Amino acid sequence: MQDQDRIYTAALIVIGDEILSGRTHDKNIAQIASWLQVQGIRLAEVRVVADIRDAIVEAVNILRARNDYLFTTGGIGPTHDDITVDAVAHALGVEVVIHPEARAILESYYATRGGLNAGRLRMARVPQGADLIPNQMSGAPGIQIGNIFLMAGVPHITAQMLAALTGTLAGGLPLLTNTIGGWIAESEVATMLGEIEKAHPDCQIGSYPFFREGRVGANFVIRSTKADHLSQCTEALCAALEQHGLAFERGGI
Amino acid sequence: MQDQDRIYTAALIVIGDEILSGRTHDKNIAQIASWLQVQGIRLAEVRVVADIRDAIVEAVNILRARNDYLFTTGGIGPTHDDITVDAVAHALGVEVVIHPEARAILESYYATRGGLNAGRLRMARVPQGADLIPNQMSGAPGIQIGNIFLMAGVPHITAQMLAALTGTLAGGLPLLTNTIGGWIAESEVATMLGEIEKAHPDCQIGSYPFFREGRVGANFVIRSTKADHLSQCTEALCAALEQHGLAFERGGI
């Protein structure tokens, strides 16, 4: 199932006016990004789109074609502004149908919670040909069709769905990282970082500055799929920082 | 300067492997979204792209063409992985040049901080024809060229640049919102919400469920550019919730 030499990529579409209005701070980008890394899949791009069918359709069709996997979050709930299922079905050119197993799950879940009304039944709608992604938390399942995974917008529920998918997707070698951080202005070490990266072709070094407690600092993240190369690059960076008399901490600050 | 009847839109490109790896939780989407609302500009779409020139170029050229404004965050620092200026210049088909005023700002800023080295001078590079966006915090300015605004990735610095731009961009009527929240399962009220929205054509109602303290709840956000319509729609929703015996709080929970 694994082809470790190739890089597997995923894209994510975050669907929801609440993110674009600034009202809700997205948590799913970081959550899904971290989960994908463990699966050996690289998150290549993210788009945040409004609750507008054509905007979702455009993003779905471009991103599913150029990535191994496409995830969406949001818009699969019971209300009128939940249009992800319809948009994905439209993008794929298939009908929206009631999934019998999803209906049964919802009937059972809502048996003690007031019964299955029209809004709740909306959550059994799927693009024709889809499978379900289990969700222990609120009954309403996620949806898989082809290489597309439709997940909840509420981060706790998304986490349940990711747990159900863990280990089921083909991936490559996970990207390994080391972090070195210090109260260092990245502009002091910019040339050094570039030279060390160039000398270690299987590694990338990212430099992430921050302001904290009124001081500037930076974390340098070394990434590679090869543990020995990662280690060599990390040691080269530590040696160079020492040589310049710059204090640092392994693991980052 | 204002044409209040038309809707002004902006797009945002968040540039950085650190967001796509899940290492850093983005704060700029919400920050810029909230700021844009006050300017009467709607954030229409967001893309998070890797530190790869062609990925940035593609996003820049699509989004600048179909929005009034395009903002980018990240990748304008001193290190080798900061390629936003080069990518935007490439997208626009212009050269990268040293901006004399940016150079002077950096020379002055670093005069007491070890002087202007090669890495620091990188932060004076701009696409030819660009203007600067002041940044009190770290010296290195943001960059404006045409309808594109290149901002820092560090949220505190981005905030400084937004402050410098406040009130300078043409916008329409700001979107007004009211929020009504309660310990209500959105699936109970899905039909009601759809009907009320339909009866108030100038308003949108968004439904945002959450899990908190082990209970389900939802906030309903009513949006309109017209204060009187917003108020009528809000009262209609409150009356309907009361009629169904559902407790709610104005302002949301």
Close Cβ partners of B203 (under 8 Å, ≥ 6 residues apart) = B197, B222, B223, B224, B229, B230, B233
Are B209 and A49 within 8 A, CB to CB? no
The helix (run of H) or strand (run of E) holding residue B36 is helix B28-38
Q: What is the interface pTM, i.e. ipTM, of the complex?
A: 0.89
Q: Is the pLDDT of residue B148 over 90?
A: yes
Which burial class, exposed, middle or buried, applies to B243 when counting CB atoms under 10 A from its CB (0-12, 13-18, 19+)?
Answer: exposed
- What does the alpha-carbon distance between residue B68 and residue B11 come to, in Å, rounded to a whole number? 8
Average pLDDT over residues A89-103: 97
Architecture in CATH of A8-165: 3-Layer(aba) Sandwich (3.40)
Note whether B86 contacts A: Cβ–Cβ < 8 A: no
Residue A180: pLDDT band with limits 50, 70, 90: very high
Kindly report the nearest CA distance between residue B93 and chain A, in angstroms.
24
Quick check: B34 and A22 in contact, CB under 8 A? Answer: yes
Would you state the pLDDT for residue B4? Answer: 61
- Which residues from chain A sit within 8 angstroms of residue B47, using beta carbons? 45-48
Are A122 and B190 within 8 A, CB to CB? yes
Quick check: B110 and B140 in contact, CB under 8 A? Answer: no
pLDDT tens per residue across span A210-243: 888 888 899 999 999 899 999 999 999 999 999 9
The percent helix, strand, coil of chain B (3-state, each to 5) is 40, 25, 35
Distance of CA A12 to the CA centre of its chain: 6
Note whether B48 contacts A: Cβ–Cβ < 8 A: yes
**Domains A8-165 and A176-250 agree in fold:** no
Quick check: A147 and A92 in contact, CB under 8 A? Answer: no
Are A190 and B117 within 8 A, CB to CB? yes
Q: Domains of chain B: which residue ranges?
A: 8-165, 176-250
Would you state the pLDDT for residue B3? Answer: 60
DSSP code at position B173: P
pLDDT tens per residue across span A134-165: 998 878 899 999 999 999 999 999 999 999 99
- What phi-psi label fits residue B22: left (phi over 0), alpha (psi between -120 and 50 degrees) or beta? left
- Which residues from chain A sit within 8 angstroms of residue B205, using beta carbons? 80-81
DSSP code at position B39: T
Average pLDDT over residues B144-160: 95
The DSSP secondary structure of A191-237, one letter per residue, reads HHHHHHHHH-TT-EEEEEEEEETTEEEEEEEEEES-HHHHHHHHHHH
Minimal-distance CA residue of chain A relative to B217: A154
Among A192-201, B90-99, B112-121, where is mean pLDDT lowest? B112-121
- What does the alpha-carbon distance between residue B109 and residue B157 come to, in Å, rounded to a whole number? 15
Distance of CA B10 to the CA centre of its chain: 8
CATH of domain B176-250: 3.30.70.260
A with B: how many residue pairs have Cβ under 8 Å apart? 220
Average pLDDT over residues A168-189: 92
Average pLDDT over residues B31-51: 95
Minimal-distance CA residue of chain B relative to A205: B81
